[in-house]
Homo-oligomer: A and B are copies of this chain.
Amino acid sequence: MPEALKLYHAPASPNSRRVRMFLAEKDISLPLVSIDLAAGEQHGDAYRAINPRRVVPTLVLEDGTAIGEVLAIWRYLEEACPATPLLGTTPKDKALVTMWERRAELDGFAAVMEGVRNAAPRLAGRAIAGPHDYAQIPELVERSKRRVANFYSDMDARLAEVPCIAGENFSAADIMMGFSLTTMRYFLPYDLARCPNIVSYLARISRRPAYRRAMEKGDPGMTLLLT
């Protein structure tokens, strides 16, 4: 692991948590710099010089290159620290992790966040993260609920067949899936009795050493249990 990496993040941001959990699974630590989202620090000149998109997280490399986007940060960390691979080992596994990560993210996480961003009063005018302002569209809140319900059903069916979302082995796709499921549960409560496979899956991955370590360190928002 290069010495001079630095991760800009926010303790409670779901995307930052995905990177911290990836680091925890690989048992590596990086210097962390907190950005105060509630105070709007991401919109200030200092952070915009690092990430013009004004979002966290950003990984800054030794030569000053700024890597935004969780998937890109994961890819860097996997290539720079290949021990404990989380993005698959064979061509087939790498493809399956990519596929299931994407479904967890776009059908799951993006679906619930669309509801959140179009509903929260504090995000009025900020319905899409990034450098441009977009007004909220109330119809997207209702659509988000339907998408989330479909996602729960689809993933419960998938998890009846496999122990981990991409197949037999734990991968970064499970980090995405865990956070997608708990984020949607937090914002849009759902009848857990209708998705027993999801409940047992989250209980299973919550027993992993990396999750326990994160919880012991008091890392906020790291719980995956649907309680």
Contact = CB atoms under 8 A, between A and B. Distances in A.
Contact of A140 (B71, B96, B137, B147): B137
Nearest to A167: B65
Interface residues of A, number: 39
B94 A107 contact: no
Interface stretch (A9-17, A19-27, A75-83, A198-206): A75-83
Interface string A45-64: 00000000000000101010
* Number of copies of this chain that the complex holds: 2
A69 B102 contact: yes
A122 interface: no
Interface stretch (A36-44, A126-134, A184-192, A215-223): A126-134
A76 to B, nearest CB: 4
Contacts of A95: 59, 67, 72-73, 75-76, 79
Contact of A130 (B65, B107, B135): B107
A194 B48 CA distance: 25
A6 to B, nearest CB: 15
A207 interface: no
Interface of A: 59, 61, 63, 65, 67-69, 71-73, 75-76, 79-80, 90-92, 94-96, 98-99, 102-103, 107, 128, 130-132, 134-135, 137, 139-140, 143, 146-147, 150, 154
